[in-house]
Amino acid sequence: MKDLIVIFISTVLINNFVLTYFLGICPFLGVSRRISSALGMGGAVIFVMTLSASISWLIYHYILLRFNLTFLEYVVFILVIASLVQIVEMFIRKFSPTLFKALGIYLPLITTNCAILGCALFMVARNYNFLESVIFGFSAGLGFSLVLLVMAGIREELNFCDIPQVFRSAPITLITAGILALCFMGFSGILSF
């Protein structure tokens, strides 16, 4: 139980995927324009990450390890992730066309999102058991959504700010991301494991 809590907190805050590992930067910058679409994207990523981590774990341990086919791990993981993203896309398209439009190309881009493949690979590299990988996947997604949401909130406020011309849009976004990363550095050292 204690291990699970440690994994959860460390993945959400201390070793946040976006701000500490720099994984999944593209939707982080691309979809953080509005809080509503950031929430949708966060939900999609949590769903895909949790499921991909658990399914990848099952496939890795029960099929790849058993038949000594670990050299297939990247291909299999990508296959699982791509199918999950496809499902999420169908789902969102059916039930929320507005969100589908807002997410645009970033939704299919989750397929090759390094955060999600990274999550599956970390899980293998760290020898997590099944429950641990599920929690790991979920908390990685949660950490991603948290940062995305914070960023979207800041960027919505930035719209009302008098920003010097040269800093508008991309530069100010990257500066904000940098400052956010700096803030998240403050969490390092809370837990030692």
Partner 1 sequence: MEKAVEGLIVLGGIGFILSIILSFLSEKFKVEENPLVEKILKILPQINCGACGFSGCEEFARRVIEEKKPYTCIPGGEEVNKKIAQILGLKAEKIEAKKAVIRCGAKKEEKKVSFYYWGPSSCVAANILGGNIDCLYGCLGFGDCIEVCPQKAIFFDGARVKIDIKKCIGCGRCVEVCPRNLISLVPYKEEVWFVACNNKDKGVETKKVCKSGCIGCGICARLKESPFFIKDNLSFIDYERTDNKEALFEAKNRCPVSCIIRDD
Residues that bind partner 1 (CB under 8 A): 59, 63-64, 67-69, 71-72, 75-76, 79-80, 83, 86-87, 90-91, 93-94, 97
- CA end-to-end span of the chain, whole Å? 15
Q: Give the nearest distance from C-beta 111 to partner 1 in angstroms.
A: 13
Q: Rounded to an integer, what distance in angstroms lies between the CA atom of residue 98 and that of residue 83?
A: 22
Q: Give the nearest distance from C-beta 38 to partner 1 in angstroms.
A: 20
Q: Rounded to an integer, what distance in angstroms lies between the CA atom of residue 140 and that of residue 10?
A: 9
Q: Between residues 67 and 193, which has the closer beta carbon with respect to partner 1?
A: 67
Element (H, E) at 82: helix 73-95
Query: CA separation (Å) from 104 to 9, 27, 47, 81, 155?
Result: 31, 11, 18, 18, 19
Q: Between residues 63 and 105, which has the closer beta carbon with respect to partner 1?
A: 63
Q: Between residues 83 and 176, which has the closer beta carbon with respect to partner 1?
A: 83
Q: Give the nearest distance from C-beta 10 to partner 1 in angstroms.
A: 31
Q: Give the nearest distance from C-beta 146 to partner 1 in angstroms.
A: 29
Element (H, E) at 80: helix 73-95
Q: Between residues 29 and 51, which has the closer beta carbon with respect to partner 1?
A: 51
